[in-house]
Amino acid sequence: MIFRQWLDIEGERCSYLLADPVTRAAAVIDAQEGTVGPCIEEVERLRLEIQWAFETRLHIAHRSAAAWVRQETGARVVAHAATGIACADLHAEEGDGFYLGEETLTFLHLPGICPGAGAVLWGDRLFTGDTLWPGGAGPLGPGGDAASLRSAIEDRLFDFPDETLVFPGACPDGRRVTTIGEERASAAEVGRESHRRLAGSGLRPDITAFNRECSQHPVRGHASPLG
């Protein structure tokens, strides 16, 4: 399996590319303006075909590039219905599977950060968006609930084996990956104040509306992967 992780220019927000090297089928998770350029360049270089663009939540502090990826590549945007994302082609529910070549990606519904928050499971890797970062969780968004978030982490994510790798939607202190065992052992506090100080972590109504309405904002100067 092909796997790439990108951080935005501040080195904090994370996006992911997964692909099957045989069929060239690919998926992106939480594509955003700050990372979509190198992601699409890698897709072109490896001659991949993006089939899925997963959104783990309605993003509230940075512009999503899912709508642009959809327009430029024909990928299908996947999100939970409660996000309200207008361009979602598929509304994923708990346990839904998505084929990527011979691999399966599984959607987990984890209401807490916001009602439509979720994670993507691939083998022994969890892509947790803002529900679980190294050392804690992201800030609550519209409709978020701290008790539900704590339950999503402690009753759902902490039920995975210790060695399960966690790839977050943000990388506080430069930590790009953690494990369920490490997070369980540290008994991470939900909504830890230090994480709220991440650049751009606060609610931005203009960006929230941009992402909900699936506005197009291509990266300037970047060629379409369709040629």
pTM > 0.85: yes or no: yes
Token pair for residue 151?
């339950």
pLDDT of residue 171: 85
Query: What are the sequence ranges of the domains in the chain?
Result: 2-212
Token pair for residue 158?
């902490």
Answer whether CATH 3.40.50.280 is correct for domain 2-212: no
Beta strands across the sheet bearing 97-100: 97-100, 103-109, 118-122, 125-129, 165-168, 178-179
pLDDT of residue 217: 61
Using one digit for the tens of pLDDT, what is the confidence trace for 51-83?
Answer: 999 999 999 888 999 999 999 999 999 999 999
Q: Phi and psi at residue 208, in whole multiples of 5°?
A: -60, -45
CB distance 212 to 58 below 8 Å: yes
The rounded distance, in Å, linking the Cα atoms of 131 and 127 is 9
Angle at 155 between CA 160 and CA 79, to 5 degrees: 80
Which whole number is the average pLDDT over 158-169? 97
Per cent of the chain over pLDDT 90 is 70
CB atoms within 10 A of CB 7: 16
Q: Does residue 178 surpass a pLDDT of 90?
A: yes
Which element (helix H / strand E) includes 211? helix 205-212
